[in-house]
Amino acid sequence: MLGYQVTSHQTPARLEKLALPRPGPEEIRVKIAACGLNFADLLMQKGTYQDTPALPFVPGMEVAGTVDAVGEGVEGFAPGTRVAVFGGHGGLAEYGCFPAARAVVLPDAMPFPEAAAFQIAYGTSHVALSHRARLQPGETLLVLGAAGGVGLTAVEIGKLMGAKVIACARGADKLQIARDMGADHLIDTETADLRAEVKALGGADVVYDPVGGDLFKAAFRACNPEARILPIGFASGDVPQIPANHLLVKNISVLGLYWGGYMAFRPEVITDSLAELLRWYEEGRIHPHVSHLLPLSSAAEGMDLLRYRRSTGKVVIEIG
């Protein structure tokens, strides 16, 4: 089979011919139709992600496709079943073996590219806003990086949960996509004074931040008393330092969210969240946004779209 393999953290990954894997106990083998790309895939290739696998490895954290074979002890996933899987890695290949416990059966009407774009982006935002921040109807949600893979889903889910949503992104085109997903107010981070504009809108009760850096600092200063800040990631490359005395004075809470980490200690948080999200999808309440659909031979191009922030929503690699 073909796979996009990382053999060194200092050299680019490349397409290689790899042996077809065999599913072990409690595993399914998936004929992969599509793989969603995530910023964490870039960090894995550099060896800086918290869950970077041992070399060599195939990146690609989330896939959609058809069960091709099952290992010993697997129930409920007969060959031919359409599934999405958060495997952590292994997705940028024609086949992959993954724990059956990490797979969900797809609705018949859900195309594979949308399914491959679904789990991490929607799962992260739903768990962050519902389980961690306890976002309430009528509160003001400030979303940084609002046109990106997770940011756009935070706009959509926040609006569904009844919040007033302020979307921040670079440029009019990206802001229009956030508006289309339900944002009430738009802030262009290339030109605006973020703190001043958010304060003029009444301040933020919840901040969803996949960016970090200076935007985090400005958003922090625009928080209302008892606000909750969700560090989701650091796409800017700058991990902000949080002044604890300011947390104290304004009664602000900082709530970390590593979605994949729940697999290790409370997997039901993820499974329950995904079940609700798939119901919302079937009811037509959420609409995955895929800005680029590329072949496996263009995986490196897809990574560059993330690296240089040239995409909106999700970049998906179509394989099968």
Residues 135 and 252 in one domain: yes
Please report whether residue 282 resides in a domain: no
Residues 151 and 250 in one domain: yes
Residues 97 and 83 in one domain: yes
Per-residue pLDDT at 110 exceeds 90: yes
Asked whether the beta carbons of 208 and 128 are under 8 A apart, the reply is: yes
Going by C-alpha positions, the residue among 210, 168, 206 that lies closest to residue 189 is 168
Query: For the chain, what is the mean pLDDT?
Result: 96
Residues 149 and 103 in one domain: no
Residues 251 and 168 in one domain: yes
CATH code of the domain in which 59 resides: 3.90.180.10
Q: What is the mean pLDDT of residues 19-26?
A: 97
Residues 79 and 187 in one domain: no
Per-residue pLDDT at 165 exceeds 80: yes
Residues 137 and 239 in one domain: yes
Going by C-alpha positions, the residue among 5, 16, 84 that lies closest to residue 45 is 5
Please report whether residue 281 resides in a domain: no
Per-residue pLDDT at 275 exceeds 90: yes
Residues 219 and 252 in one domain: yes
Please report whether residue 249 resides in a domain: yes
Number of domain units in the chain: 2
Going by C-alpha positions, the residue among 293, 301, 38 that lies closest to residue 148 is 38
Residues 64 and 105 in one domain: yes
pLDDT score of 150: 96
Which of 211, 243, 260 delimits the end of a domain? 260
C-alpha 286/C-alpha 266 separation (Å) is 25
* Structural domain boundaries, residue 250: 122-260
Q: What is the mean pLDDT of residues 169-188?
A: 97
Please report whether residue 80 resides in a domain: yes
Q: What is the mean pLDDT of residues 165-187?
A: 97
Residues 85 and 197 in one domain: no
Q: What is the mean pLDDT of residues 19-32?
A: 97
Q: What is the mean pLDDT of residues 201-214?
A: 97
pLDDT score of 320: 74
Residues 148 and 161 in one domain: yes
Q: Report DSSP letters for 9-21, one per residue.
A: SSS--EEEE-PPP
Indicate the pTM of the whole model: 0.94
Residues 135 and 248 in one domain: yes
Longest dimension (CA), the chain: 60
Note the pLDDT tens digit of each residue in 63-79.
Answer: 999 999 999 999 999 99
Asked whether the beta carbons of 78 and 42 are under 8 A apart, the reply is: no
Please report whether residue 274 resides in a domain: no
Return the percentage of the chain with pLDDT > 90, whole number. Answer: 98
Please report whether residue 278 resides in a domain: no
pLDDT score of 304: 97
More confident residue, 243 or 224: 224
pLDDT score of 208: 98
Which of 260, 279, 308 delimits the end of a domain? 260
Going by C-alpha positions, the residue among 172, 129, 117 that lies closest to residue 154 is 129
pLDDT score of 141: 98
Please report whether residue 283 resides in a domain: no
Please report whether residue 86 resides in a domain: yes
Return the percentage of the chain with pLDDT > 70, whole number. Answer: 100
CATH code of the domain in which 176 resides: 3.40.50.720
The structure tokens listed for 109 are 């009407």
The structure tokens listed for 79 are 């060959």
